[in-house]
Amino acid sequence: MLPDSRGYFGEYGGRFVPETLVPVLDELTDAYQKARADDAFWAEYESLSRDYSGRPTPLYLAEKFSQHCGGARVFLKREDLAHTGAHKINNALGQGLLARRMGKQRIIAETGAGQHGVATAAVCAMLGLKCIVYMGEEDIRRQSLNVFRMKLMGAEVRPVSGGSRTLKDAINEAIRDWVTNAGDTYYLLGSVVGPYPYPLMVRDFQSVIGREARQQVLSQSGRLPDYIVACVGGGSNAIGIFYPFLEDESVRLIGVEAAGRGVGTGKHAASLVEGKVGVLHGTKSYVLQDGHGQIMETHSISAGLDYPGVGPEHSYLKDTGRASYVAVNDEEALEGFKLLCQTEGITPALEPAHALYHTAELARSLGGEKTIVVNLSGRGDKDMHIVMEALGVEP
Amino acid sequence: MSRIDKAFEPPGHRALVAYVTVGYPDIQATLDVVPLLASCGCDVVELGIPFSDPLADGVTIQKASFHALQNGVTPGVCLEVAGQLRQHLDIPLVFMTYFNPVFSYGLDQFAADCAGCGVDGLIIPDLPPEEGSDLEEITRRQGLDLIYLLSPNSTEERITLVTERSRGFIYLVSVTGVTGARDHLPPDLKAFVGSVRQKASQPLCVGFGISTPEQAKQVAGIADGVIVGSRLIQLMEAGDDFRPQVSGFVKGLRKALDEASSA
């Protein structure tokens, strides 16, 4: 079973962190392994997933979208319908329960698009925990609605002005806070990145997506899908839906990264497609970096994909060939966004809009007997002003 | 005896370790300041190779790193600077950086080039011993010391691990936190240094947050060396001639350390 006891997926993963964090990660790993083996922990997680988060989320056969593409049948895993509007709640809830179990009263988190921040703020409000969210100044500007939502739920949003002022810098700042306040503070990391045990833990909490989707697609279509498609920033929604299908060798797994203004331009976030192996935020994985090992600034129309690293398990899945990764640019993502609005009356977030664009292209190339499940990881309300700006529409 | 070992000689001598970011405020400043530090009584100089994402550093070194990167400083440039300094200097030079620039350069090549430029050791705060085996082996072959860190929350088990594997000296982080000048030393520092001392055969140097002669003197009462960084970077920030300020500051620290060792 991967990861191994040192937190490695093949050559990827591990714990490249300052000494101060090693004992803290040991404590976390130990607490998580105990919780993981405790039925009562999962019973509470499942009960709150149902009654608080609204799980299971539906699997919806998008007939008009499929017809428009003129090929394969496309199912949408409706994580956009989960509480707070994205899959992020699955992980925030699981880790929030773990933090409470560990007796940590102060929760810190980073956020890019704001979805993880909102999910964390919501869970902290519900569990009665203090919540501080680090967010890059550029993302605060791009996602002001989510900033307001977090504040309404009682979270403190701390702007991060270092570096590119986006998700990567918010993680740096959250780690600095954690190094300083490790005694009473729980770092609720939002993706399958970071040092072990985060890639394992976040995968565990997100793989509910794939477990549900697998059952649903079997009962609705009578067989396994031919493809699973999901967008990849850090990669949590993708791992969440991929993982329960890993052993189903007939199911092809495709991760869609953000090509921003194009992979040749240097203004993108396609770590797996264009990056090199390196170490960022405590884990060895594919990283967008220059020739001297400096982490590059990234660009994507979607704040949630705007990250120069990626979860180590994705690097492993890429190298082993079990999953393949492609990149979709800003303009194409907007096409995917509009297409779902027009054909199904569903507004996707800009992150899964990347997956939708690729799904449409893929579906078109396949016959009507093929099926694709795409993870609709979040809803697009938060992105309206970005889309308006991109389409040149006056508010 | 290596250059680093000599920095702690004769017994009772308290080593003064200074950190500067290479290329901050510019490369000439680094070439000027290191000999000055040596002449004012520093025993070891840590040369910081800037990294884009310095997550163990506070605001001062973050800013200096960012600035140095804007100046085009790369690991290659840092090696050249070390090589130039080595031509006229005999004190140990130690690179301090994060793992990714070293990994990207190639571990073997980096260690070989360090040795070729007269660098004596490496400090990599995001490389704990669990991840350091390869680099340990490679640096050993090149005669470089890979210096590990311990922090106040390190367990007994981890103290044992680091005392078994750190070469040159052990870098004790005074507080659980990031680099940066602080007003007070933590009250439990003495107990922390004492618990490492029981197991360690290497010299123990304490860093993070030390910025005044009084603090240095206190630390020198319990440790073998004192590391200063952020305060020095702040003094170099001024833009004008930083030499009088730096020299006054370092001489003050040297005096405090000598008083502590003769006390």
Report the half-sphere exposure of B163 (CA within 13 A, side-chain side): 18
pLDDT at B261: 83
| Closest by CA position to B131, among listed B103, B173, B111, B93 | B103
3-state helix, strand, coil in chain A (%, to 5): 50, 20, 30
Asked if B52 lies within 8 A of A294 by C-beta distance, the reply is: yes
- On the question of pLDDT at B238 being above 70, the answer is no
Complex-level ipTM beyond the 0.95 threshold: yes
Query: At A68, is the secondary structure helix, strand, or coil?
Result: helix
If you search the block for the tokens 């986006």, which residue do you land on?
Answer: A166
| Closest by CA position to A227, among listed A242, A243, A212 | A242
Contact of A165 with chain B, judged by CB distance below 8 Å, is answered with: no
Contact of B100 with chain A, judged by CB distance below 8 Å, is answered with: yes
Q: What DSSP string describes A282-335?
A: TEEEEE-B-TTSPBPP---SSGGG--S---HHHHHHHHHTSEEEEEEEHHHHHH
Tens of pLDDT, residues B9-53: 999 999 999 999 999 999 999 999 999 999 999 999 999 999 999
Asked if B177 lies within 8 A of A180 by C-beta distance, the reply is: yes
- The minimum CA-CA distance between A30 and chain B, rounded to whole Å, is 15
- Choose among B66, B105, B178: nearest Cβ to A179: B178
Residues of chain B with pLDDT > 90, as a percent, come to 93
Residues of chain A with Cβ-Cβ distance to B177 below 8 Å are 20, 176, 179-180
Burial of A263 (0-12, 13-18, 19+ CB in 10 A): middle
Tens of pLDDT, residues B68-93: 999 999 999 999 999 999 999 999 99
Q: If you average pLDDT over every residue of chain B, what do you get?
A: 96
- The minimum CA-CA distance between B259 and chain A, rounded to whole Å, is 31
Contact of B149 with chain A, judged by CB distance below 8 Å, is answered with: yes
Query: At A376, is the secondary structure helix, strand, or coil?
Result: strand
Asked if A15 lies within 8 A of B130 by C-beta distance, the reply is: yes
pLDDT band for position B122 (50/70/90)? very high
pLDDT at A330: 98
If you search the block for the tokens 């977090």, which residue do you land on?
Answer: A150
pLDDT at B107: 98
Q: Which residue ranges form the domains of chain B, and what is each CATH number? A: 15-262 (3.20.20.70)
DSSP state of A91: H
Phi-psi region of B235 (alpha: psi -120 to 50; beta: other; left: phi over 0): alpha
pLDDT at B135: 98
Contact of A13 with chain B, judged by CB distance below 8 Å, is answered with: no
User: Whole-angstrom Cα distance, residue B263 to residue B260?
Assistant: 5
Q: Please say if A110 is a catalytic residue.
A: yes
- Tokens for A265, please give them: 């331009």
Asked if A280 lies within 8 A of B53 by C-beta distance, the reply is: yes
Degrees (nearest 5) of the Cα angle A87, A89, A95? 125
Contact of A280 with chain B, judged by CB distance below 8 Å, is answered with: yes
- 10-residue mean pLDDT profile of chain A (395 residues): values are 96 97 97 98 98 98 97 98 98 98 98 93 98 94 90 98 86 95 95 98 98 98 98 98 98 98 94 98 98 95 94 98 98 98 98 98 96 98 92 84
- Chain B: residue nearest A8 by CA? B131
Residue A112 contacts residue A170 (beta carbons within 8 Å): yes
User: Whole-angstrom Cα distance, residue B236 to residue A8?
Assistant: 42
| Closest by CA position to B184, among listed B175, B172, B192 | B175
